[in-house]
Amino acid sequence: MVQQAVDILLVEDNPDDAELAIRALRKSNLANHLLHLQDGQEALDYLFNEKNTKPKLVLLDLKMPKVDGIEVLRKLKSDERTRTIPVVMLTSSKEERDIVETYKLGVNAYIVKPLDFEQFGTAVAQLGLFWLVLNQTPQ
Amino acid sequence: MRFEFKVVIGFIITLSLVILVGIYTYDNNDSQLKASRWVDHTHQVLYRSEQLLATLTDIETGQRGFCLTNNVDFLLPYYKGKENIYPQIRYLKQLTKDNPRQYARILKLETLIGKKLVFSDEVVELYKTHPEESIDLITSLKGKKLMDSIRLCFADLMNEEKTLLERRTLENEQQITKSNQVFLVMLSLTLLILLGLFYTIYLNLRARNRAEQKLVKASKEVEDLYDNAPCGYHSLDAKGFFLQVNHTMCEWLGYTREELIGKKHFFDLLNEEGIKTFQENFPVFKEQGFIHNLEFDLIRKNGISFPVIISSSAIKDNKGNYLRSRTTTFDYTEQKQANDKITNLNQELEAFTYTVSHDLRSPLRSISGYAQILEEDFGNVLNDEGKRVTSVIIRSSKRMGQLIDDLLNFSQIGRKELFHHHINMNEMVKQLVREFTEQEKQYALEFKVQHLNACQGDHNMIRQVWSNLLSNAIKYSQKKNSIYIEIGSSVAGPETIYYVKDKGAGFDMQYINKLFGVFQRLHRINEFEGTGVGLAIVKRIVNRHGGRVWAEGTLDVGATFYFSIPN
């Protein structure tokens, strides 16, 4: 698993939400190189491990045990090695302060998980398409 | 009449009366003097007349004595009498010049006396040569007759004079009585006016005394109010030293007045932060003349501080130089505690809504998501009842999600800070109308937008008000053949009223009080979709702008929703 190239790193503590997101991405055939990690600490460990390839997109939940999404984002965006990785917040929180804070830290997009499963699926699929297929990132 | 005027008038009247009494007394004295002179005059006439008669008697006696005794010694008074009698007559004539009748009598006397003297001379001279012939002459009674006439004349003269004396004495007495009466009346009048004047002055003095007592009482009350009001009062000089301080403030601080006035600077009572605030604001205050609601922590004598709110206005001289402040100080402890409590509660509420927004939505999404997976992946193994149940789960979880979202939205609107800007309502509504027309293509929408007055408000929130009202109007008109919505505004006094009118389902006016409540609905969910938050949000936004919301409606005819924004 470690050696495999990772396109999408999904950091989500809620297994149900993770499953639904993965299902939606898989429907669009975007889940082939997807790694799901369950909390912020795991995510940091993975991303700062030199052996691992950098993902093309990090989908980050906000509220997680141990290290939360904000903290992960801060560390990623303040480190030269990880700064260029696109990070998209995928969260239930519509709170203005969360949106403002993550943007200040340099988040690339902020998506509120729609309640409707269909909408949720569409949103995740479009997201994957945009960042993996359309978007260009520095090599 | 004013008191001073009264006193002056009284004084003038009294002075006039005193002058009048003086003039009258002088005049009266003068006429009394004249009257007594007349009495004297009469006495003198009488005396002189008697003297004249005595002289004549001397002459007569001398003549008779000589003729009886032939003694020349008797002729001595005779000649002396003859010598004196004419000056006496002249004197009498002089005295009676004023009285023609008496004067006439004197003239007659003069003639008679002349005759008598001629007769006497004749007798005396004849006696010297022919004594017998002389005796004959005497016995002829001519002399006696003359003498009788003279005596009669004298009697008339004296009687007249005596009558005059009586009359003049009486007149004099009457004059004295009358003048006494007049004097008494004038004196009484003066006395009365003086009494009146005294009474007026007394009344005025009494009134002044009472006013002074009242003033003293009032000033004591004001002093008491200043000292014991439930807020602190003090005054600072241009440097910031205490000039005056009330009892309440002294109590709060634990200092005596003497320890503060002239000795303590205001920033002696402040902490570092307070000193900074003071140094920033005191010059501004001296310049602009007022300052409102500055917060300070004042340090008591015992070192414990307490929060206060201070407002002050400056007293300046004619040239605009700062003299002193009038400062009120309110103990802010309780309010601050209450504010802290509110802040805490708000934070708790925020934490709660945050949790709701994050944690509650998550399992809901799972329910709805997994039910949908069930429908998609296992639709072929579910019978109809199983499919129906699954669809109910999906629908209900969606609805619950919607309820949570709306509720969060509603609570956010209560907490969000308002940013007031000029809002072009025409522009805003036209844009919304375009969006709705685009969104609801399936309906035949007809909007009639009147000119809308601009307003001051939070752009996003006001937009939400219009959006909610318009989507409501559309929603409740769906079952009609055509959708007609009218939008307009009017200025009414201090506020501008906006309205959205539709020809939709309307509502029964008896449920009007439920219209703007949270989760209050007048229609069943299968009639019209919705959570019952839209109008509650409208109400909350409008209220936060200081405006009002209300509605009019008739069932199956239509409804008009109004909201007002203060100008």
Other Cβ atoms within 10 Å of B329 Cβ, number: 23
Give Cα separations from B518 to A36, A41, B409 (angstroms). Answer: 41, 42, 12
> What values do phi and psi take at B452, rounded to 5?
-110, 135
Q: How far B471 CA lies from chain A's nearest CA (Å)?
A: 21
A2 pLDDT band (50/70/90 cuts)?
Answer: very low
CB spacing of B369 vs A113 below 8 angstroms = no
Closest residue in A to B365 (Cα–Cα): A115
Residues B467 and B493: their CA atoms lie apart, in Å, by: 26
The reply to whether residue A92 touches residue B366, judged by beta carbons under 8 angstroms, is no
pLDDT number for residue A89: 94
Report the pLDDT value the prediction gives residue A139, as an integer from 0 to 100. 64
Between A and B, how many residue pairs show a Cβ–Cβ distance under 8 A? Answer: 61
How much of chain B, in percent, has pLDDT values that exceed 70?
A: 99
3-state SS assignment for residue A60: strand
Q: What is the mean pLDDT of chain B?
A: 88
Nearest to B398 among A14, A63, A116 (CB): A116
Cβ neighbours of residue B25 closer than 8 Å, sequence gap 6 or more: B179, B183
Residues from chain B contacting residue A16 (CB–CB below 8 Å): 362-363, 365-366, 369-370
Residues B542-566: pLDDT tens digits?
Answer: 999 999 999 999 988 999 999 999 9
Q: Which residues of A touch B361 (CB under 8 A)?
A: 92, 113, 115
Of residues A62, A96, A113, nearest to B365 (C-beta): A113
Q: Write the DSSP string, B352-384.
A: HHHHIIIIIHHHHHHHHHHHHHHHHHHTTTS-H
Nearest CA to B431 out of B477, B462, B386, B473 is that of: B462
For the sheet containing B558-566, what is the strand order?
A: B445-449, B483-492, B495-502, B558-566, B549-554
ipTM associated with this complex = 0.78
| In contact, B336 and B309? CB cutoff 8 Å | no
Residue B205, both tokens: 């003095």
Contact A116 B361 (CB under 8 A): no
Over residues A27-76, the pLDDT tens digits come to: 888 888 899 999 899 999 999 988 888 898 999 998 888 888 999 999 99
What is the predicted pLDDT for the residue at B302? 93
Using CB atoms within 10 A of its CB, is residue B333 exposed (0-12), middle (13-18) or buried (19+)? Answer: exposed
Of A16, A62, A118, the CB nearest to B366: A16
| Phi and psi torsions of B12, nearest 5° | -65, -45
CATH architecture of B232-331: 2-Layer Sandwich (3.30)
**Using an 8 Å Cβ cutoff, are B541 and B462 in contact?**
yes
Identify the pLDDT of residue B1: 67
- Helix (H) / strand (E) element for B137: namely helix B131-139
Query: Helices B384-415 & B333-355, crossing angle to 10 degrees?
Result: 150
Question: What is the per-residue burial (b if ≥16 Cβ within 10 Å, else e) of B271-304?
Answer: eeebbebbeeebeebbeeeebeebebbbbeeeee
Q: What average pLDDT does the segment B494-504 reach?
A: 94
What CATH code would you report for B3-197? 1.20.120
Contact (CB<8Å) A95/B359: no
Q: Does the pLDDT of residue A1 top 60, yes or no?
A: no
Residue B326 has pLDDT above 90, yes or no: yes
B434-480 pLDDT tens trace: 999 998 888 888 999 999 999 999 999 999 999 999 999 999 998 88
pLDDT value at B399 more than 60: yes
Using alpha carbons only, give the angle B449, B451, B452 rounded to the nearest 5 degrees.
95
Beta-strand pair B242-245/B322-331: unpaired
Residues 6+ apart with CB under 8 A from A124: A21, A24, A25, A90
Q: How many CA atoms lie within 13 A of B69 on its CB side?
A: 11
B415 to chain A, any CB pair closer than 8 A? The answer is no
Please state, in angstroms and as integers, the Cα–Cα distance from residue B223 to each residue in B105, B234, B247, B468, following that order.
Answer: 99, 13, 10, 59
| B73, HSE (Cβ side, Cα atoms, 13 Å) | 2
**Nearest-angstrom CA–CA distance, B307 and B497:** 43
Is A17 in contact with B365 (Cβ distance < 8 A)? Answer: yes
Strand (E) or helix (H) holding B537 = helix B534-544
- Please tell me which of the candidates A14, A96, A118 has its beta carbon nearest to residue B362: A14
DSSP for B188-215, please give it. HHHHHHHHHHHHHHHHHHHHHHHHHHHH
Q: Does residue B378 carry a pLDDT above 80?
A: yes
Closest CA to B502 of B463, B474, B543, B466: B474
Q: What is the pLDDT of residues B95-105, one digit of tens each?
A: 888 888 889 98
Q: Is pLDDT of B360 > 90?
A: no
DSSP state of B476: T
CB-based contact A92 B408, cutoff 8 Å? no
Which region among B119-128, B260-269, B278-287 has the lowest average model confidence (pLDDT)?
B119-128
Percent of chain B with pLDDT over 90: 43
Separation between Cα atoms, residue B440 and residue B188, nearest integer Å: 111
Nearest by Cα to B401 from B447, B374, B363: B363
At residue B383, the pLDDT reads 92
Q: What are the two backbone dihedrals, phi and then psi, of residue B386, each rounded to the nearest 5 degrees? A: -60, -40
Average confidence (pLDDT) over B326-345: 91
Question: Å from B403 to nearest chain A CA?
Answer: 11
**CATH number assigned to the domain with residue range B418-566, chosen from the 4 options 3.30.565.10, 2.40.128.280, 1.20.120.1200, 3.20.20.80:** 3.30.565.10
- pLDDT single digits (tens) B53-77: 888 888 888 888 888 888 888 888 8
Q: Is the predicted pLDDT of residue B37 greater than 60, yes or no?
A: yes
Q: DSSP label at A131?
A: I
**What is the distance between the alpha carbons of residues B171 and B168, in angstroms, rounded to a whole number?**
5
Residue A3 has pLDDT above 80, yes or no: no
Q: Which of A23, A94, A116 sits opposite B357 (nearest CB)?
A: A94
In Å, how far is B370's CA from the nearest CA of chain A?
8
Which residues make Cβ contacts (< 8 Å) with residue B245, sequence separation at least 6? B232, B233, B234, B235, B257, B260, B261
Which is nearest to B79 in space by CA: B92, B52, B61? Answer: B61
CATH topology of domain A8-131: Rossmann fold (3.40.50)
Structure tokens at A31: 């889940």
Structure tokens that stand for A38 in this block: 């369950």
Q: Does the CB of B373 have a partner CB in chain A at under 8 Å?
A: yes
Are B425 and B489 contacting, i.e. CB atoms less than 8 angstroms apart?
yes
Domain boundaries, chain B: 3-197, 232-331, 338-414, 418-566
- Measured from the Cβ of residue B459, the count of other Cβ atoms closer than 10 Å reads 14
Q: Where are the domains of chain A?
A: 8-131
Helix B75-95 with B3-69: angle, nearest 10 deg: 150
Report chain B's C-alpha Rg in angstroms.
65
Local structure of B225: helix, strand or coil: helix
Q: Give the tokens for residue B455.
A: 């307003």
Q: For A89, phi and psi rounded to 5 degrees?
A: -75, 130
B81-94 in b/e form (b: 16+ CB < 10 A) is bbebbeebbebbee
Alpha-carbon gap, residue B544 to B556, rounded angstroms: 32
Whole-angstrom distance, CA of residue A95 vs CA of residue B351: 11
